Structure 1
């Protein structure tokens, strides 16, 4: 995915491209941003952008070796946690 003008990979991805990169819907990524559960983003000139490193780092939160793995980091759900869910962390 090279920039046709410069021949370089993009430094930042807008929300639609970031969602496509992650394999999730635009709306899901927007919800994660709203609830603070998503990848780190930047606001430049009123536009929301993501770096590839931040997107890849966010996906590392979901790495598991087994279904029984327990880790403090959660990528999902894309909503605020309930008090009961917070207590299980």
Structure 2
């Protein structure tokens, strides 16, 4: 897997990739998507994909919110 700064791949990520990076079950990602609380994703046909840059931004927002609480 090609990596960028911040240890995220340079290609679009599958739900399995994101689940592994976040150390959560894939099912959790699907639940977050239904609740609209998880990282933003998009569909390529019937396949769900995550943009590494958007994933990084989502993580940054979570850490910023956690620090403000």
8 Å CA contact 1:41, 1:50 repeated in 2: yes
Is 2:61 aligned against 1:46? Answer: no
**What CA distance in whole angstroms lies between the structure 1 residues aligned with 2:62 and 2:25?**
17
5+ unaligned residues in a row in structure 1: which ranges?
3-8, 71-89
5+ unaligned residues in a row in structure 2: which ranges?
3-8
- Shift of residue 10, structure 1, vs aligned partner: 4.5
Q: Please give the TM-score of this superposition, normalised by the length of structure 2.
A: 0.74
RMSD of aligned residue pairs (Cα, Å): 1.5
Q: What does 1:1-89 align with in structure 2 at a 5 Å threshold? A: 1-2=1-2, 9-63=9-63, 64-65=66-67, 69-70=68-69
**What CA distance in whole angstroms lies between the structure 2 residues aligned with 1:15 and 1:41?**
9
Q: Which has the higher helix share?
A: 2
**What CA distance in whole angstroms lies between the structure 2 residues aligned with 1:18 and 1:55?**
9
Q: Please give the TM-score of this superposition, normalised by the length of structure 1.
A: 0.60
